[in-house]
Structure formats: structure tokens, C-alpha cells
Amino acid sequence: MPTPHSTRARLADGREIHFYDDVAGRHRTVTDTRALPPVESASELRWDPTVEEWVVMATHRKDRSGGAAVPCPLCPSSESAATEIPAHDYDVAVFENRYPALRGAASPDERGASLSSPAGGRCEVMAFGSEHETSLARMSEQRVRTVVKAWADRTRALNALPSVEQVVCFENRGSEIGATLTHPHGQIYGYPFMPSRFERMRQAARHARARGAECVFCSVLNRELAAGQRIVARSEHWTAFVPHAARWPYEVHLYAHRHVPDLAALTEEERVDLAGAYRSLLRRFETVAEAALPYMALWIQAPANGDRELGHLHAQVFSDRATPLKPKRLAAGELGAGTFISEVEPEQAAAALRTADTWVHPMPPRRGLVSRTDND
């Protein structure tokens, strides 16, 4: 896959920033005039042996400043306000988080041989564009192509870091679901370990291989295509469906038809097709109810090292509510025991999403959104 046209620079405190342009040929001179202290990260990994998973202790993040009167840190810089983006305009920008939960070259011991470890890895913020009052669903397909290219490029770069085991590209959209910034953006985490849910997926794939069965993800996709009633949309290279055992009121998985490990391994045709399919999916979340639903989205990719042939690239997009004013509250049995109870029939959710108007309505006002001087 060709590398997208980009400009690499440094922010005032030494953090990397990358600009990705919709059209090749633009040359940027980037100068950050702010006086910033060095980035400090005191994060620690602590091992919970009862469930065999790491917990990230990032107590320094609680000291982040914020406030609605502060200029948005993801808007372009101007003569009156210097932000995290030292440019007067941009298409897509990716930079190291100023308050990272994960940072450095440390990697934890295998399976928690030591109960604590410095939290290595990488945390990056991806701003989807200069415009503040919009969403990724409302951007042009060309812009979504640039986002996909940037995801792929950063996945490749982070996978090459010795401290990174798993790269996750994700977005939290809407303060109702936990986003602290209204500006359209996502994040990329390079975890120094396999997150527990991803580890369970890898184990499921290993078990299928041990049985001599086909890829567990290919099998799921084939069953959904055969069943048909939970399919939301399909293109040449991608299929979006509500999973048979959906946990959330609205939950859609977007699978690559080809067994491919990660975003960096996609062909040009697959990337172009993905931009249209992904934008269409997000638009359905904005139009399936009387107002845009808040959502979380993340990409499931193969790990950086080992078992990469078991990975099957797909995205998960889900909302915690069936209507804007009716959130699903997780009870003790769900959060504590880890067993979800779904109150929405997946087939009905798929039918609603399938018939949702993908022509996005005017942007509704959002209440109670927070603007910060830092990033998520």
C-alpha cells in the first residue's frame, strides 16, 4: 500500500505530529511557538492474577485542566490562540497525546510474572479535520479515505515499535458516551500487551485452528451472509452486520471479506471501498433514531508479534442506547460478572439500521459537551 502524502514535524515539547492531506503535493512548514514543559508519564501496569489481565494506573491524567471557555485544542492555531495543531488549516492530523496513559519503551513480563511494570507503549490523537461543528459521518468520502490511510500508516508505524504488542484505532463520539471533546477526532493506542478481550479472541482463533476448522471470524462472516436477516449493508469488499449475540442496543460489526490481518495490509481498492462503507455505517447511527446516537468504534487488528495469521480485520461500532434519551445502564451482573443481558433483538436492530436514511440530517445541538485544553 503506498504511503499517503504526509508531513512529519515536532511539537514544542518534542512530541511527533503528522499531517495527512486529502490531495498530494502540499508542502507544510510546521512551527509550534508554544512554551510547553516536557511530557511526563507516570503510568504503571498492575497485574490482576484473578482474571489474568493488566490494569493501567495513570493517575497523572486526573490533573488535566479543562473548561468550556478554553479554545478547542484540536481546532487550527490562529494568531490569537495556539493549539495542539500548529497550522491554520489541515485535513487529518495525528499527534502524540500530551497526557498519555501509555508511553515509553517498557514491556511487561509475560503473563504477569512481575505484578507491576512501567507502562510503555504509545497514545496518539487523530483529529479528522479543521471543522469543529461536524462529525466523521458528515465529512466527504475523500476525507474518510484520508482517515483510513492515516489509520493504516500509523498502525504500520506503531506495530514496528518494540514496546507495542497491539494497535487499536478507536473513536468515542458524544459526551453522553464519555467523549471530552466535541471536535471530531479519534485515538490510536499502541498497547504494550494484548488487552484481555483481544486475548480472548486470539484464544478462540487458536482453538478453531486446533480443531482443524476455518478461521473463526471467516466462519462468523459466512454464517451471517448465509442467514441474511442481520446484514445492514454490503459492498464489494466489506459487510456490515448486527452480530447474532449483540450486547448493545445498536451494535454493528464491519468485516473485510478477505482474510487480512490489519489496516496496513489492505489494497488500494479495499481502502477506497472501506471509506464509503464506513461513512455509510456511521451515518446510519446518526439517522436511525430521532437524533444522532452517541457511539464507540474500534478496529480489531492482528497483534504486532505472533499469531498474525489468525487475525481477521474488522470494526465494531456500538451505542449504549436505543434512543438518544434511553441509555443502557450496565448492572452488577454485566460489569461485575461480565455477562451481558440484551433487551433489543438483533434482527430488529439490523432492520432499523438497514432502512435508516444515510443522508445525514442537519447537525443537532449537543448539550453538556466539554472543551478541554488537553486531549482525551
* DSSP-assigned beta bridge partners for residue 19: 7, 93
Count of CB atoms within 10 A of residue 350's CB?
24
Q: 121 φ, ψ to 5°?
A: 110, -155
Residue identified by cell 430521532 is 290
CA distances from 64 to 9, 48, 302 (A): 24, 27, 32
DSSP 85: B
185 is catalytic: yes
Give Cβ neighbours of residue 355 (< 8 Å, ≥ 6 apart). Answer: none
Percent of the chain that is helix, strand, coil (3-state, to 5): 25, 25, 50
Phi and psi based region of residue 52 (left: phi greater than 0; alpha: psi -120 to 50; beta: remaining)? left
Cell of residue 264, nine digits: 496496513
Question: Which contiguous run of DSSP H or E holds residue 48?
Answer: strand 44-48
Catalytic residue, from 18, 183, 185, 312: name it: 185
**Residue 57 CA to chain centroid, in angstroms?**
21
Count of CB atoms within 10 A of residue 267's CB?
12
Task: Please tell me the distance from the alpha carbon of residue 161 to that of residue 68, in angstroms, as a whole number.
Answer: 36
Nearest Cα residue to 100 out of 121, 84, 77, 70: 121
Task: Please tell me the distance from the alpha carbon of residue 84 to that of residue 77, in angstroms, as a whole number.
Answer: 8
Task: Please tell me the distance from the alpha carbon of residue 63 to that of residue 35, in angstroms, as a whole number.
Answer: 19
Q: Are 70 and 370 in contact (CB under 8 A)?
A: no
DSSP 212: T
Give Cβ neighbours of residue 70 (< 8 Å, ≥ 6 apart). Answer: 371, 372, 373
Residues assigned a catalytic role: 185
